[in-house]
Structure 1
Amino acid sequence: MQINDSSGIKSYLPSTSRYDQMKYRRCGNSGLLLPLISLGLWHNFGHTDDFNNARNLLRTAFDHGITHFDLANNYGPPYGAAEDNFGRIFQKDFKHLRDELVISSKAGWDMWPGPYGNYGSRKYLIASLDQSLKRMGLDYVDIFYHHRPDPDTPLEETMGALHHIVQQGKALYVGISQYNAEDTAKAYDILKQMGTPLLIHQPRYNMFDRWIEDGLLDVLGQKGIGSIAFSPLEQGILTNKYLNGMPADSRAVKDARYLKSDQITPEILKKVQSLNEIASNRNQSLAQMALAWVLRDQKITTVLVGVSKQKQLLDNISALANLEFTAEELNQIETILKSN
C-alpha cells in the first residue's frame, strides 16, 4: 500500500507478503541469514541516474524479501553518490524498517586525493566508514568490508582496523573482498585471535570466471566463512542482452570501464547461445540459470545482482523457482564452457 508524501512521491508501505517466497541461507557458521539474492548499488544509484527509478528498485527488492543492500564508499558516479542517494531513500522509506535490513559498505579503492584515501590502512578504513555512515544517515552498518587486498599494508593492521570498527559499534560484522585463498585464511586467523569473526567474503564468480574454485571455496567451507558472489551474470554477458548485437543502452556501449565491447567475442557469443538453449529447456532465462548455477554450491550464501529496471530484478528473483540441476545439465554446461 502507498500514500502520497509531501514531495508528491508516494510514501512506501512494504508488502505484507514480502517474506513468503524469498529463500534465505545461513552465512557461514554465523547466526545471520541472507536472502539468496542481494541487491548491489554499484550502478544505477549515482547522481547521473534517475532517483525515482533507484527508489523503486529498492522498494521492489524489499517487497520481494531482499533484505540485503550492498554499497561501497566509491559507488556512484561520482564517488559517494550511491551512499548519498541510498541515505535519502532510507530516510524516506526504510528508516522505520532498519532492523529488517542488512546494509553493507566497503572501503579499499581510491576514494579521495592524497596518501590516506586508498588501500587498507587503519586511518583510511576508519575515516572512510565514518564518511559512509554520515552519507547514509546510519549509526552503523551491518557488514563492513575491506574491498580489496593491499600488498603494502600489514594484514594485521587492516584486520585490526576491522576489529576496532566492530568494537566501536560502527559495524556488526566484517568481511573481505577479492582476497585469495591463502590471505583469506590468514585474515580469518588474525580476526579470530582478536575475537572478531570473519563473517563473509565477496568474490567475483560466474560461469566464465571461476577462480574461487581453485582453493578459495575450500577455505570458506573449512573456516565457516559465508560468501556473496558479485558479477554472477558477467556484467550482462550471461543474459540474452547481447545475443542479437549491442543494445544502445547496454553497459558495454555506455560505460567501457566495466565491460568492453571487444570482450563479447564470437567465441563467447557461441557459448552464450548454447547456454541459452539449456536455460530454455529448463524454462528459465539465461540470467536465471546463471544465478541458479552460482547458487548450486551451498558455500555461496547469496548472489549480488545489479539492475537498472524493475523487470530485470523480478526476472532475477524468479530464478529461485528452479535451483536444481540434473547431472546431465551440469555436464552439458561444463562441455560448453570448456569448448574452444
Structure 2
Amino acid sequence: MTWTAAPSRYDNMVYRRCGQSGLKLPAISLGLWHNFGEDTPHALKRDIACTAFDLGITHFDLANNYGPRPGSAESAFGEILRTDFAPYRDEMIISSKAGYGMWPGPYGEWGSRKYMIASCDQSLKRMGLDYVDIFYSHRFDPDTPLEETMMALDHIVRSGRALYVGISSYNSKRTREAAAILKELGTPCLIHQPSYSMINRWVEEDGLLDTLDELGIGSIAFSPLAQGMLTNKYLNGIPEDSRATQGKSLKSQFLSDENIETIRALNAIAERRDQTLAQMAIAWVLRNGKVTTALIGASRAEQVRDCVRTVENLDFTDAELNEIAATTREADINLWAASAERKGPSR
C-alpha cells in the first residue's frame, strides 16, 4: 500500500532551535534503539515511523549497533527510506552513532579514527544514504586521545558523510574538552545526548545542562521514560511482555516495591494535570528549555501518538515541580553509569 505523508504534519509539533545552530529539532524525536531490529515485523516498524512523521517528528535517531542483530535497525530504516520516505529525505534529520561494540576484533568499538570512519561508512551503506544529518561519538573512550575521536568527527563532516556532529553520555568535563577541540577544528559540536528523566538526574548533579547552555550546544535526552518505567506499564506489576522480563535494557531489580510506589505517586500527579504519566515525564524533561528534544522509543504507533500529545501542555506550576521533586528524591534510578569514563551498556 502506497503511503503519503499527512499534509497537516507540521501543524501541531513544537520545533526548538538546537543550541546556537541554525537547525531546529522537533520537541519529540523518535529513537530506533528498540523495536526496529529483526525481532519486530517490518510492517510494525513502518507503521511506527510513518505515524511519527505524520505527527511532525522529523528526527530519527539510530546507531550502528541498534537491533538485534547489530545493524538491523539501520537496514530496516533504510528500507523505509527507499520506499515510504523517499520523497521526504530533505524534511528529515537522520542521525547515527559509533562507540559501542559493532564487529569483532580491536577495531570494532570505542573511539579510534579507524573505527569511527569505518562505522559511519557502514551505516550509510545500510541506510542507502549519501550522508547523515548528525553523527555522534556514542561514548567517551578513555584509552583513545580525545583529539583523535574529535578529529575523526571533523573528517566525517568535511568528507561529506555528515552535516553535523554530536557526542553522547560524555560528562561535563569531557564535554568541555571535546567542544573546545571541535571548535578549534572548525566543526562545532551541535548536540549532546545524555540519559535524563525524573528518576535519573545525573546531568543536573554533573552540571552538564548548564555546561551545554554556556557552550551553546543543544541536547537530546534519551530515556526520558526510563525505559518504560515512567509509563502506565508497571503501575500494577511487571507485565510478561515488558522489557524487564525480556532481558533487554531494563533490569527487573529496578522495579522494586518502593520504586513502583514512586511511579504510582507520579502517575497521580499526571492525572491531576490531565496527562498520562508518559506525557508528564516528557514534559518534565522539556520543562525549562534546557533540553532541545526528548527522545522516545515505541513498540506501536499509539505510543507515538500518546507521546506527541505532550506538546499540548509543557508547563508546570511551582507546586507541581516541588511535589515531583519530593516524590522522586530517593529514586535516583540511573540505568547507565553517570560517569562518561566508565564502560556502559550497548545502547
* Structure 1 CA distance for aligned equivalents of residues 290 and 156 of structure 2: 26
Q: Which amino acid aligns with 1:259?
A: L
SS of 1:234's equivalent in the other structure is: coil
Q: Which residue of 1 aligns with 2:222?
A: 230
Q: Which residue of 1 aligns with 2:194?
A: 203
Q: Which amino acid aligns with 1:71?
A: L
Cα offset, 1:311, TM superposition: 1.1
Higher relative contact order (CA 8 A, sep 6+): 2
**Cα deviation digits, residues 130-174 of structure 1 (max 9, x gap):** 000000000000000000000000000000000000000100000
Q: Which residue of 1 aligns with 2:71?
A: 80
SS of 1:175's equivalent in the other structure is: strand
Q: Which runs of 4+ in 1 moved over 6 A?
A: none
* Structure 2 CA distance for aligned equivalents of residues 273 and 257 of structure 1: 23
> Does structure 1 residue 282 correspond to structure 2 residue 282?
no
Cα offset, 1:51, TM superposition: 0.4
**Cα deviation digits, residues 220-268 of structure 1 (max 9, x gap):** 00000000000000011111101112112111112x2311112101110
* Structure 1 CA distance for aligned equivalents of residues 259 and 100 of structure 2: 30
1:112–1:118 Cα contact (<8 Å) kept: yes
* Structure 2 CA distance for aligned equivalents of residues 106 and 157 of structure 1: 16
Cα offset, 1:74, TM superposition: 0.1
Query: What is the RMSD computed on CA atoms of the aligned residues?
Result: 0.8
SS of 1:151's equivalent in the other structure is: coil
1:28–1:299 Cα contact (<8 Å) kept: no
1:35–1:68 Cα contact (<8 Å) kept: yes
1:30–1:199 Cα contact (<8 Å) kept: yes
SS of 1:236's equivalent in the other structure is: coil
Q: Which residue of 1 aligns with 2:136?
A: 145
* Structure 2 CA distance for aligned equivalents of residues 159 and 11 of structure 1: 42
> Does structure 1 residue 221 correspond to structure 2 residue 209?
no
> Does structure 1 residue 251 correspond to structure 2 residue 243?
yes
> Does structure 1 residue 54 correspond to structure 2 residue 39?
no
Q: Which amino acid aligns with 2:219?
A: S
> Does structure 1 residue 304 correspond to structure 2 residue 295?
yes
SS of 1:12's equivalent in the other structure is: coil
1:141–1:171 Cα contact (<8 Å) kept: yes
Q: Which residue of 2 aligns with 1:129?
A: 120
* Structure 2 CA distance for aligned equivalents of residues 282 and 264 of structure 1: 25
> Does structure 1 residue 70 correspond to structure 2 residue 57?
no
Structure 1: 5+ residue runs without aligned partners? 1-9
Q: Which residue of 2 aligns with 1:327?
A: 318
Q: Which amino acid aligns with 1:139?
A: D
1:166–1:173 Cα contact (<8 Å) kept: yes
Q: Which residue of 2 aligns with 1:26?
A: 17
> Does structure 1 residue 313 correspond to structure 2 residue 304?
yes
SS of 1:199's equivalent in the other structure is: strand
Cα offset, 1:297, TM superposition: 2.5
* Structure 2 CA distance for aligned equivalents of residues 41 and 205 of structure 1: 17
SS of 2:2's equivalent in the other structure is: strand
**Cα deviation digits, residues 15-69 of structure 1 (max 9, x gap):** 0000000000000000000000000000111111110000011100000100000
* 2:86 maps to which of 85, 88, 95: 95
SS of 1:218's equivalent in the other structure is: helix
1:37–1:66 Cα contact (<8 Å) kept: yes
* Structure 1 CA distance for aligned equivalents of residues 106 and 288 of structure 2: 40
* Structure 2 CA distance for aligned equivalents of residues 95 and 163 of structure 1: 28
Q: Which amino acid aligns with 2:144?
A: T
Q: Which residue of 2 aligns with 1:6?
A: none
Cα offset, 1:339, TM superposition: 4.8
Q: Which amino acid aligns with 2:302?
A: K
Q: Which residue of 2 aligns with 1:107?
A: 98
Aligned length: 330
Cα offset, 1:11, TM superposition: 1.3
Structure 2: 5+ residue runs without aligned partners? 332-347
Cα offset, 1:275, TM superposition: 0.6
